[in-house]
Amino acid sequence: MTTTLVTRAILTACLVGLAPAAALAQRDLPPEIVRGSDLSAVQTQQLGAYVAQHAPGLSGDQVQVKRARLALLAPLKESQVSISFRLAYARALVPVLEPLLKHQNDLVAVNALQIAGELGTPDSPVLLAQGLTDGRAPVRYGAAFGHRRLFEVLASGTPALTPKQAIDAAGAVARVLAGETDAHVMEGCERALEAAARVPEAQLRGVRAEAVGMLARQIGERARGMSGTAPAEFAGVLTRASKIASDAITLAHMDKNEPPLPPPTLAEVGRMAGAILLSARARLAAGEVPERVRAALAQVVSAAEAAYFFAHSALGERPENRDLAGMVSGARDEDFAKAVEALAGAGGVLSRPPFVR
């Protein structure tokens, strides 16, 4: 079984069946504990007993792991989960989760990382960072997914992290993109940064802009270092990064009153797009281009040109729509090479203000 299939199998086992556990939480942990702002000693003991009841199953067989995870996540699925509860729950759960991160069973480690992300406390990024450096691709993917859930939690309720803590967590994910070779893990990291890019400014100031900038910077660097067939092999990674950036600029998944991304972030997106276009040009010039490779490159180019267009427009300019993807699809490689040079080459649009100062 390939790494990707192993990763998908593990994550499928982890994610199936989250919803039915809500009733269990309501029965075992009363809502007044989950929503309480100041837990009593008795309530704290009750919380600890709940964790102790389900913790052994986290290192059991697949059925036991799933049952324990559902039970332990259920209180966090309640409405109006208080910060006080999250912090108290983390104090009880972290000592249980930490030893499991290095468990020889990938499923056990990934399961613990998911719970760590769902906690949504300052302990979460500390635990998740350990998974990002694991030698096993499925576990690294699990850590990326845990970060994604962390940012989704931060976007939907009262955050238990400071903006700096959230930005540092995004930075840990972004750094994985610098050297990761597994495309599935890279996708997981991109999805995590996408979730960070959807954290409203009113929730955590600056997280959106930093996440988009980090994504653009790391993917731009990767694109600049690509040679041979890499741009086509990582077509999904490159296309996804451009799409995430475009959505962040256009507020595709955000309230339309959300503040726009700042100029330095927009410039970073433009430079990423230029690097991706240059990598596609290099691949086309490298030799024979099979039809499937050309189709993949056309998708990469289309997404990158859109990201550039939205970034340049948001910077107050009126960029030209060149239809670079049409040139690639139509095998007009010389026209494409000239257009990319005018845009991203030395002295091109992206080497001048507002993209550089």
Instruction: Give the pLDDT score at 326.
Output: 97
The reply to whether 242 and 294 lie within a common domain is yes
The reply to whether 225 and 163 lie within a common domain is no
Domain final residue pick, 163, 196, 229: 196
Domain final residue pick, 139, 168, 196: 196
The reply to whether 166 and 270 lie within a common domain is no
Query: Does any domain span residue 205?
Result: no
The reply to whether 187 and 216 lie within a common domain is no
Instruction: Give the pLDDT score at 16.
Output: 42
Query: Does any domain span residue 294?
Result: yes
Query: Does any domain span residue 203?
Result: no
Q: Is the pLDDT of residue 15 over 90?
A: no
Query: Does any domain span residue 207?
Result: no
CA torsion sign, 237 to 239 to 242 to 245? negative
Query: Does any domain span residue 206?
Result: no
Residues 137-159 have pLDDT tens digits of: 999 999 999 999 999 999 988 88
The reply to whether 79 and 225 lie within a common domain is no
CA distances from 322 to 140, 247, 319 (A): 39, 20, 9
21 confidence band (pLDDT: 50, 70, 90): very low
Residues 35-84 have pLDDT tens digits of: 988 899 999 999 999 999 999 999 999 999 999 999 999 999 888 899 99
The reply to whether 163 and 252 lie within a common domain is no
Query: Does any domain span residue 345?
Result: yes
The reply to whether 141 and 237 lie within a common domain is no
Domain final residue pick, 142, 162, 196: 196
Query: Does any domain span residue 202?
Result: no
The reply to whether 189 and 250 lie within a common domain is no
Residues 286-317 have pLDDT tens digits of: 888 999 999 999 999 999 999 999 999 999 98
The reply to whether 192 and 217 lie within a common domain is no
Q: What is the CATH number of the domain that holds 138?
A: 1.25.10
Instruction: Give the pLDDT score at 313.
Output: 96
Phi, psi of 122 (to 5 degrees): -60, -20
CA atoms within 13 A on the CB side of 144: 29
How many independent structural domains does the chain possess? 2
Across the range 249-276, mean pLDDT stands at: 96
Range of the domain at 167: 1-196
Query: Does any domain span residue 313?
Result: yes
Instruction: Give the pLDDT score at 19.
Output: 38
The reply to whether 171 and 139 lie within a common domain is yes
Hey, what are 165's tokens? 């803590």
CA torsion sign, 305 to 306 to 311 to 315? positive
Enumerate residues 6+ apart whose C-beta is below 8 A from 198.
Answer: 151, 152, 155, 208, 248, 253, 254
Residues 199-240 have pLDDT tens digits of: 999 999 999 999 999 999 999 999 998 877 777 789 999 999
- Determine how many CB atoms are found less than 10 A away from the CB of residue 70: 21
Instruction: Give the pLDDT score at 304.
Output: 98
Instruction: Give the pLDDT score at 8.
Output: 54
The reply to whether 41 and 165 lie within a common domain is yes
Indicate the residue type of 195: A
Indicate the residue type of 156: S
The reply to whether 110 and 11 lie within a common domain is yes
